[in-house]
Amino acid sequence: MTLGQLSAFVLVARLGSVTDAARTLGVSEPAVSQALAALRQHHGDKLLVRTANGMTLTPGGSRLLPIASQMVALGADADAAVREANGVAERLHVVVTSTIAEFVADPLLEAFARRSGQAVDASAGLAQVAEMPVLVTNRLADAALGPRLEGDVESEPVFRCSIVAVAAPGFRPRGRPGQWPWLVDPSGADPGSGTAHLLRRMGVGESAIRVFPNQTAAWSAAANGSGVSLAFEHLAAPQLRRHELVIVPTPATPRTEYWHLTTLPHNRSSTAAGSLRHFLATPAAMQVMRSPGTGVPPSRFRPPVYVTIWS
């Protein structure tokens, strides 16, 4: 029985899907299935069975889940303790939404590493909103930056911003907003995101939504007259100043939104997560979140990666 097998089991149980667990761990679905098979063989119990509502725990699986969660968390504690004893930089894994990953995560963590005064190995990973509290609760991530999260976590607002609809200056949408062509980044396909919430509020059907690889691509298509996109106003400010895009009023926008930092309760969160929480309250952090600029130097760039404890 390994930590990798236990983490796979915990994620499948919490998320209810092998597919979602594999995406969250950044591994293939067969890898997750193999981990579950090994764990089932070890315990002589199916642990999880597939039903019409997804993966359901057996009585044995229900008993194992809280213990497995504790073991995964202890594994993270053990790794941190050994790293500290050897003078190795403390790890800080932050899971973020796609928009924050594209514009903010790298320069923000770069600024945090420069100003923290301690050796920190910081990285960002993409996750859907529903996955974030599961990752934080089970110590597969130290923190999450994005919407407010529920559960056995602490979610604190750290940045106030505004979501607006944007389009090309000459674009004239017809009919109701629900009938317009909407161009979104991957957050538009995440049911828990602010983007998806706004689209539902305006009655936008799936047929009217086009998902692009990133927010920049969605804005570029909007600037070419292909439709309307959603944007955090401060992030789209350069395009708005150059009149490549203009704000389009809708019944649901502008809408105020807060970015939240979510961690375990203060007495259980990692030292690095606590340091990040304090840093995000500083003017330097606010400046980076408001005007992230063009990113970090190539020599320091590390693309977002999925959080994983697989060996």
Q: What percent of the chain has pLDDT over 90?
A: 45
Under 8 Å between Cβ of 71 and 138: no
Q: Is the pLDDT of residue 140 over 90?
A: no
Long-range CB contacts (< 8 A, 24+ apart) of 116-120?
Answer: 116/275, 116/279, 118/90, 118/272, 118/275, 119/88, 119/89, 119/90, 120/89, 120/90, 120/91, 120/92, 120/272, 120/275
Under 8 Å between Cβ of 117 and 130: no
Please give the average per-residue pLDDT across 295-306, as a whole number: 42
Count of C-beta atoms within a 10 Å radius of residue 249? 10
Q: Is the pLDDT of residue 3 over 50?
A: yes
pLDDT band at 308 (very low <50, low <70, confident <90, very high): very low
Please give the average per-residue pLDDT across 29-52, as a whole number: 89
Q: Is the pLDDT of residue 243 over 80?
A: yes
Please give the average per-residue pLDDT across 219-233, as a whole number: 94
Residue 310 has what pLDDT? 39
Residue 164 has what pLDDT? 95
Q: Is the pLDDT of residue 299 over 50?
A: no
Cα torsion angle, 108, 111, 112, 118, sign: positive
Residue 222 has what pLDDT? 94
Mean pLDDT (the chain) is 85
Residue 287: both structure tokens together: 């400046």
**CATH assignment, 161-257:** 3.40.190.10
Please give the average per-residue pLDDT across 93-106, as a whole number: 91
Do the domains spanning 3-84 and 161-257 agree at the CATH topology level?
Answer: no
Please give the average per-residue pLDDT across 141-149, as a whole number: 93
More confident: 104 or 310: 104
Torsion of CA 103, 109, 110, 111, to 10 degrees: 100
User: What's the angle, vertex CA 111, arms to CA 107 and CA 112, rounded to 5?
Assistant: 115
**Domain 89-159+258-290 belongs in CATH node 3.40.309.10:** no
Report the DSSP pairing between strands 120-126 and 90-96: parallel
Residue 307 has what pLDDT? 42
Torsion of CA 170, 176, 177, 179, to 10 degrees: -90
More confident: 83 or 178: 178
Q: Is the pLDDT of residue 309 over 60?
A: no
Report the DSSP pairing between strands 90-96 and 154-167: unpaired
pTM: 0.78
Q: Is the pLDDT of residue 149 over 70?
A: yes
In the chain, what is the greatest distance between 2 CA atoms, to the nearest angstrom?
Answer: 65
Fold of 3-84: Arc Repressor Mutant, subunit A (1.10.10)
Residue 103: both structure tokens together: 């514009």
Phi, psi of 246 (to 5 degrees): -130, 155
Which residues are CB-neighbours of 274 under 8 A, at least 6 positions away?
263, 266
Residue 6: both structure tokens together: 């236990």
Q: Is the pLDDT of residue 283 over 70?
A: yes
Q: Is the pLDDT of residue 78 over 90?
A: no
CA nearest to 172, candidates 227, 129, 91: 227
Sequence spans of domains, the chain: 3-84, 89-159+258-290, 161-257
